[in-house]
Amino acid sequence: MADAPPALVVASNRGPVSWQRRDGQLRPKRGFGGLVTALGGVLQREPGTWVSVALDHADREVAAEHGATAFEEDADGGRYRLRLLDVGDRYEPYYNEVANRLLWFTLHELWAAPFEPPGTGWRGPWEDGYLPVNAEVGRAVAAEADADRSEVLLQDYHLCTAGESVREALPEAAILHYLHTPWVEPSYLARLPDEMTARILRGLLAADVVAFSSPQWTRAFRRCAIEHVGAAADGDALLFEGRRVAVDWFALGVDEGSLAESAASGETVAAGDDLDAEIDGRLLLLRVDRTDLSKNILRGLLAYEVLLEQHPQLRGRVWHYGHLNPSRQGVAEYQTYLEACEEAAARIKERFGESTCTLFVGDDYPRAVAALQRYDVLLTNPVMDGTNLVAKEGPVLNRRDGALVLSPRAGAADLMGEGALVINPYDVEAQAAALHAALTMSADERAARADLLRRAARIGAPEDWLAAQRVALRDAVSRRGVPS
Amino acid sequence: MADAPPALVVASNRGPVSWQRRDGQLRPKRGFGGLVTALGGVLQREPGTWVSVALDHADREVAAEHGATAFEEDADGGRYRLRLLDVGDRYEPYYNEVANRLLWFTLHELWAAPFEPPGTGWRGPWEDGYLPVNAEVGRAVAAEADADRSEVLLQDYHLCTAGESVREALPEAAILHYLHTPWVEPSYLARLPDEMTARILRGLLAADVVAFSSPQWTRAFRRCAIEHVGAAADGDALLFEGRRVAVDWFALGVDEGSLAESAASGETVAAGDDLDAEIDGRLLLLRVDRTDLSKNILRGLLAYEVLLEQHPQLRGRVWHYGHLNPSRQGVAEYQTYLEACEEAAARIKERFGESTCTLFVGDDYPRAVAALQRYDVLLTNPVMDGTNLVAKEGPVLNRRDGALVLSPRAGAADLMGEGALVINPYDVEAQAAALHAALTMSADERAARADLLRRAARIGAPEDWLAAQRVALRDAVSRRGVPS
């Protein structure tokens, strides 16, 4: 055992495998995204367990089959050791109320003042949903971990307080908590009830390493820990309750293999033929996003409208295609927001012609990939975004040296800012000016910038991204008790 | 001349004197508030000029009479040397659009995401209103100032860029700029168009001292100057373009003389008799505020509703009286907000009885003073507030050792926090709990806290507040060119 690699224990809300019932059987299917690529790959070679929460009926059936024990599952050529937690009625308050409403809105500065956040009703879902589910995940992680030899990797804002339960059960555990979201300044985080602010920060500080996707978020997190729970700065790390907690960032780059595979698929090729007909020789101004409030879709449309107002010669020569993946349409603000986007698109079509602008709302990944291959300008203007992977995947997939218009409040901007046109996401007029510059850029400048963008997007490929985190985690553990 | 005190030149949007037409004559009337008390007092003893903008028709008539020259005016026993600027059509974009909408909403974090701030339409009022009016004020200040001997005191967010014009005309001028508002973190300030963010910061950094009412705002300002325009930290000061700019805070306390005078007036006594009848032996839970979004009136009402839900024994024993001074009812958000408050009050009355709750919306200063003398609990829960003078005036006027429930995001909390019950302004349930604690507090604790509150409220009396600023300004000027 002495030479065996440390066992990984990963915990995230969504696991690497989902199930679908076909022909009376529950059939496993691997998920996608950088996390599954990075961790799924490593877990093919090293021992480890992935703890996650049962999200739907099929998950719950699988969980019921295995009870409180881990099990192995093959999916799409990989084998995974899984522990799936059915948290019952607590799922709704844990996931929809606290994680995706209270925390998501707070961490992306999405509350509509002066009425939001609603000042009542959070303690129930917090106490009866978020905290117990996190504790259950933490206990399951501890049960799967080997105190001396495991590396525990906790994922994202759903599990902010799970680390406390791991630490309580295994005081010596090596724990890294990665936040895929942004983080906010102390004054904004304080819109949460005080005990939640404190508990979330203490929960994260139970890790040895708190990791983000951008230095913007590490700075904000450090200030929150200092102002709200009295942590002390120690270089870039924090001292908290006699422990040293590293706070670091690890940019996640594109998964080239999986992108290449998607690009080569027959579905993508067919979708590309359809798109070519629609583009019809015009310049393609593209956005590809979930319909999330943080993505700033509406201001992008308004910027396009200003562009066509100010530059009549572009009318008829540009097609703005918004490829929108519907998201959280059960949340009233998301519905209202999508309606406002659709109204803006309708107005633009009425003013400048039916074929000026198309919003596609649906789930069609091959079409998204084909569009990314073909854009002249890609607009990624989120008001806040942990990374914004589209801003990285676009340049790698694109075949036209397309330009990138990018918000500095996306984590992607740290590395992609040099090749992109960086714009203030709140300033519609500045975005219109950047879109004009991008659409009229010389071929030489486009090529030079596209080269910079491709290089930057490849930094932090999923397996490198994970390896860097594990190095940081081992370093943090090795420095325990060593004065800095 | 060598021994004459330095001449003060003050500039603010609103001057110390206003005029009303009575019997065909324009009659001057002194304004009130800490600024007029402090500066008006000093200007009775020292030479100096107050530059301000003509706000209404009467002001403009007076300005027309005097043209581009300063004049003297007697008002309510004081004599003032005034320079009044008629800025014509630029007043609306300068004051209502940029200052009171773009800047006020930004500096109090009031924008309703994801739709606000509107991303277009600001450049016109900025370029045609705010900048030229500020330049005109700056030039008028420079014209009134003596390069070597004057101390220039610029006031508030209306005049963020005026300092640049003063500095350009008089490179050696001693300039202090006091902001009476809060200041926000770099990420929130960035909701302004980039060039406005930079220009505002550069404008303020043209001063020798940038002054705020709370260390919370100085910290945020320093971070903005560092992140947005590349200033460098030098202890608590900033280095910017070869100059050292002190960033300091000066808490403004109550004007006891003027409060005592108001308390003793016949109108206040009569208003108190009316109030006593309305109170009718119940506990008085009071708020006194402008109907500003930042004051958080609605969550205060919701907290009162939760209180009555949770503590039936208090029903009929407490009267919540909101004394609201109507403000900016021409701005749609303010109207909507006041309507929401009135709806909440109506619902509370319907649920718990007509006499449970009263919202008074009007301008009745004697009644406000009488109410402050009589509260058992004063609620001051702003989401952000430069100072919140009511939280200081209340304890000095109050005769019942009333308790104070106070937001930490009011500048007042720096000094008043020890005696007050400090609550998260976003957390309605925590506010309800604090109201309950305040209403049921023992007489001993009330008395001990009231004593702390009165002492804290007296710190920074207007003349002391001004004197401290002038000391800081002379200190900053004396350190020019001296390495730190």
A185 min Cα distance to partner chain B (Å): 7
Residues of A with Cβ-Cβ distance to B111 under 8 angstroms: 113
Task: State pLDDT tens for residues B330-352.
Answer: 889 999 999 999 999 999 999 99
Q: Is A429 on the interface with B (CB under 8 A)?
A: yes
pLDDT tens-digit profile, chain A (484 residues):
445 667 899 999 999 999 998 888 999 999 877 788 888 888 998 999 999 999 999 999 999 999 989 999 999 888 999 999 999 999 999 999 999 999 999 999 999 999 999 999 999 999 999 999 999 999 999 999 987 789 999 999 999 999 999 999 999 999 999 999 999 999 999 999 999 999 999 999 999 999 999 999 999 999 999 999 999 999 999 999 999 999 999 999 999 999 999 999 999 999 999 999 999 999 999 999 999 999 999 999 999 999 999 999 999 999 999 999 999 888 899 999 999 999 999 999 999 999 999 999 999 999 999 999 999 999 999 999 999 999 999 999 999 999 999 999 999 999 999 999 999 999 999 999 999 999 999 999 999 999 999 999 999 999 999 999 999 999 999 999 777 6
Residue B194 to residue A430, Cβ atoms within 8 A: yes
CA dist A354 and A300 (Å) reads 18
With vertex at residue A388, the alpha carbon angle to CA A387 and CA A390, rounded to the nearest 5 degrees, is: 140
For A338, which residue in chain B has the nearest alpha carbon?
A: B114
A114/B110 Cβ within 8 A:
yes
CB spacing of A383 vs B114 below 8 angstroms: yes
Measure the CA angle with vertex A37, ends A31 and A40; round to 5°. Answer: 85
- Residues of chain B positioned with their CB less than 8 A from the CB of A192: 426
Quick one: angle between helices B215-229 and B194-205, nearest 10?
120
Measured at the CA of B372, the angle between CA B371 and CA B375, to 5 degrees, comes to 80
* pLDDT recorded at residue B149: 84
Tell me the C-alpha distance between A17 and A74, whole Å.
9
**Cβ separation of B114 and A337 shorter than 8 Å?**
yes
Q: What is the CA radius of gyration of chain B?
A: 23
Describe the strand order of the beta sheet including A421-422 as a list of residue ranges. A357-361, A318-325, A283-290, A377-380, A403-406, A421-422
- C-alpha to C-alpha distances, B473 to A211, A452, B148, B233, B246, nearest whole angstrom: 44, 49, 14, 19, 8
Rounded to 5°, the CA angle B70-B76-B78 comes to: 50
- Residue B110: closest C-alpha in chain A: A113
- pLDDT confidence of residue A147: 76
A413-416, Cβ contacts within 8 angstroms, sequence gap of 24 or more: A413/A214, A414/A214, A414/A215, A414/A216, A414/A251, A415/A251, A415/A456, A415/A457, A415/A459, A415/A460, A416/A391, A416/A392, A416/A453, A416/A456, A416/A457
* Residue B5 pLDDT: 60
Tell me, letter by letter, the H, E, C secondary structure of A266-300.
HHHHHHHHHHHHHHCCCEEEEEEEECCHHHCHHHH
Tokens of A279: 């583009």
A114 touches chain B (CB under 8 A): yes
Q: Which of B109, B123, B296 sits opposite A429 (nearest CB)?
A: B123
Q: How many CB pairs under 8 A join A and B?
A: 112
**Residue for token digits 């706070």?**
A247
pLDDT(B34) > 80 = no
Q: How far is B32 from chain A (nearest CA, A)?
A: 29
Residue A444: CB atoms within 10 A of its CB come to: 9
Length of chain B: 484
pLDDT of residue B1: 40
From the list A173, A202, A181, A172, the residue with the least C-alpha distance to A249 is A181
Name the helix (H) or strand (E) containing A114. Answer: none
- Inform me whether the C-beta atom of residue B239 falls under 8 Å from chain A C-beta atoms: no
Find out whether A384 and A182 touch, Cβ atoms under 8 Å.
Answer: yes
Write out pLDDT tens, residues B181-198: 999 999 999 999 999 999
Percentage of residues in chain B having pLDDT higher than 90: 90
Residue B450 has pLDDT above 60, yes or no: yes
Tens digits of residue pLDDT in B390-419: 999 999 999 999 999 999 999 999 999 999
Neighbours of A147 (CB within 10 A): 12
Cα separation, B168 vs B170, whole angstroms: 6
> B380 near B406, Cβ under 8 Å?
yes
CA distance A247 to A237: 5
Q: What is the mean predicted confidence (pLDDT) over B30-37? A: 83
Chain B touched by A431 (CB under 8 Å): yes
What is the Cα–Cα distance from A318 to A477, expressed in whole angstroms?
A: 54
A377-380 vs A357-361, strand pairing mode: unpaired
Classified as helix, coil or strand, B90 is helix
Q: Which of B288, B368, B372, B363 is nearest to B322 (CA)?
A: B288
**What phi and psi, each to the nearest 5 degrees, are found at residue A6?**
-60, 140
ipTM, 2 dp: 0.93
Does the CB of A293 have a partner CB in chain B at under 8 Å? yes
Quick count: other Cβ atoms within 10 Å of Cβ A208? 27
pLDDT at A230: 98
- Name every chain A residue with its beta carbon within 8 A of the beta carbon of B424: 190, 193-194
B296 contact A CB<8A: yes
Three-state DSSP class for A189?
helix
User: Does B109 sit within 8 Å of A187, measured CB to CB?
Assistant: yes
Structure tokens at B481: 């060119």
Choose among B346, B11, B375: nearest CA to B175. B11
For residue B382, give the nearest of B156, B182, B100 by alpha carbon: B182
Nearest chain B Cα distance for residue A10, angstroms: 32
Rounded distance between C-alpha atoms, residue B234 and residue A437, angstroms: 39
Distance between CA atoms of B447 and B403, rounded to whole angstroms? 9
Chain A closest-CA separation from residue B384 CA (Å): 10
B2 pLDDT more than 50: no
In chain B, the largest separation of any two C-alpha atoms, in whole Å, equals 71
